[in-house]
Amino acid sequence: MSALLVSLLQWPIRALILLLISQFPFLGVEMVSFPIALVSAVVLGLLGALLTFPLKLIFGPAWAVATLGGLIPLGWLFDWLITIVLFAAAAWLIQGFRLRNGLASAALGALAYSILCYVILNAIPGLNVKLTGAGALFTGYLG
């Protein structure tokens, strides 16, 4: 299946996952409606495509120092940091997508989003996604 088709099939599922995350008040993520969730899923994908590489360049020197050039396995922490930045940027850009507790909501929401996307999309044949960042650490799947 082509990557474009997989992305189009994942889009409404990711929007539903965002709506599901907004139903847990302790996460502090607020989503007004399904159309806002659809837009948010697109914006998260676009921000990920456009900003992941520049953010890795920005955080690269800090990663190299903190991990002693990769000797200490903390790569997941920097992936999670990038996911938090992308999640917060999407909430800042979209009216109707709000992080009630600021950075804490961005961190918890990004973690919940990455884990739920991994679990739900991998349960559907043909829509497999890779688990990255802190999601891998918290689910115990590091390999």
Q: Which residues pair with 30 in a beta bridge?
A: 98
Query: Residue 53: which residues within 8 A CB-CB, separation 6 or more?
Result: none
Tokens 């990038």 belong to which residue?
A: 82
pLDDT for residue 62: 81
C-alpha distances in angstroms, 116 versus 32, 94, 129, 138? 20, 21, 11, 12
From CA 69, how far away is CA 20, in angstroms rounded? 38
pLDDT value at residue 142: 46
Per-residue pLDDT of the chain (143 residues; tens, 9 = 90+): 566 777 778 889 999 999 999 999 999 999 999 999 999 999 998 998 898 888 888 888 887 887 777 677 777 778 888 889 999 999 999 999 999 999 999 999 999 998 898 888 888 777 676 655 445 555 554 44
pLDDT of residue 143: 43
Among candidate residues 72, 131, 83, the one with its CA nearest the CA of residue 108: 83
C-beta neighbour count of 9 within 10 angstroms: 14
- Residue ranges of the domains in the chain? 3-139
Q: What was the pLDDT predicted at 118?
A: 83
Q: What is the pLDDT of residue 74?
A: 72
Check residue 139 and give its pLDDT. 52
**Does residue 118 contact residue 131 with C-beta atoms inside 8 Å?**
yes
Q: In the beta sheet, which residues pair with residue 97?
A: 31
